[in-house]
Amino acid sequence: MVIDCHMHVRKKDDDSLDEAYCDWTVEAGDLLGIDVFCVSDVRLQGDLRYEDFHEANERVKQAVARHPDRLWGYCFVNPGDPRALDEVTQRVRDEGFVGVKLYHQYRIDEPVQEPLIERCIEWQIPILMHAGHPTDPATRARQPRISDASHFANAAERYPEAIFIEGHIGGGGDWEWALKHLREAPSVLLDTSGSVVDEWLVDRCVAELGADRLLFATDMTMEGGVGKVLDADLTEADRTKILGANFEAICARRQVS
């Protein structure tokens, strides 16, 4: 099974789920051979209130209900909100979401994340987080609290049992810089998504980290996401792991009670 572990749904101007976008996503999967998309609905800028992420997760729930065989949900929260854990409980335990999605409200190694990380360890569910090491001043200014690989290494040192997924190695940051740090953080996983389709990118990830730590994803870069994994010089066994088997193994660890 080919699983895109980092994808999104989106909303319309009236804040309702953009159902057409869900359908286009599934159609793209049909064309490109992607069986399942793990989706979240994230708010990119501004204050993130409980009502915002609760509504976002409600849209994800609707999307999953629309395509139950093709879309799996992530629960997006602001870890600084006192009701974040309640939201995770509702979505993951009661509604079957596969994991937690974090954006850049806080870095992954900040103390505010600890209750959330500990819950995810207890349940053995993944935490996928928007991440990167942007080197241009404009992007850094827009995302002052973005987590980079060094923050993941810090968090993983403290919580080696956690299933951390650093988002989109092709998301535009300095991916060579990220690989240098992640070599020292063996429990951190990495997804392949992002609009950067540098030749040699996926090969280098596998060479530095091993195929067991790499997860296929698009983050909306559909043809690029598939193409860069197809072009990498990999054994078919490693390609199978990256394209879905690794994420299936993560899901098999789930112990939600």
Partner 1 sequence: MKYFEDLAIIDCNVFIGNWAFRRLRRNDAPGVLAMMDDFGIERACVASADAILYKDCQAGNEKLYEETREAPDRLWLYATLNPAYPGWERDLARCVDLGFKAVRLYPCYHGYQLGSPEAGKLIDAAIEAGLPVSTPCRVVDVRQRHWMDTTDNLDPIELIEAAEAHPKGTYLLTESILSADRDNDLWPRMRALDFYVEMSRMTACLQNNLGVLVEALGANRVLFGTGFPFKTPSPAFLKVQVLDADDEAKSWIAGRSAQRVFMEK
Where along the sequence are the contacts to partner 1 (CB under 8 A)? 21, 24-25, 28, 31-32, 132, 134-139, 171-176, 195-201, 220-224, 226-228, 230-232
Pairwise CA distance, residues 148 & 167, whole Å:
10
CB of 59 to partner 1, least distance (A): 17
Closer residue to partner 1 in complex, CB, 173/244? 173
Closer residue to partner 1 in complex, CB, 115/134? 134
Q: Are 74 and 40 in contact (CB under 8 A)?
A: yes
Closer residue to partner 1 in complex, CB, 56/201? 201
Residue that has been written with the tokens 């063996």 in this structure: 186
Closer residue to partner 1 in complex, CB, 96/172? 172
Closer residue to partner 1 in complex, CB, 77/232? 232
For residues 117, 127, 177, 221, the Cα torsion angle rounded to the nearest 10 degrees is -160
CB of 4 to partner 1, least distance (A): 12
Pairwise CA distance, residues 243 & 69, whole Å:
17
Other Cβ atoms closer than 10 A to 233: 11
Closer residue to partner 1 in complex, CB, 34/189? 34
Pairwise CA distance, residues 240 & 2, whole Å:
8
Pairwise CA distance, residues 155 & 109, whole Å:
5
CB of 222 to partner 1, least distance (A): 4
CB of 193 to partner 1, least distance (A): 13
Q: Counting beta carbons within 10 angstroms of the beta carbon of residue 216, is it exposed (0 to 12), middle (13 to 18) or buried (19 or more)?
A: buried
CB of 84 to partner 1, least distance (A): 29
CB of 226 to partner 1, least distance (A): 6
38 vs 29, 109, 209, CA distance in Å?
A: 12, 24, 23
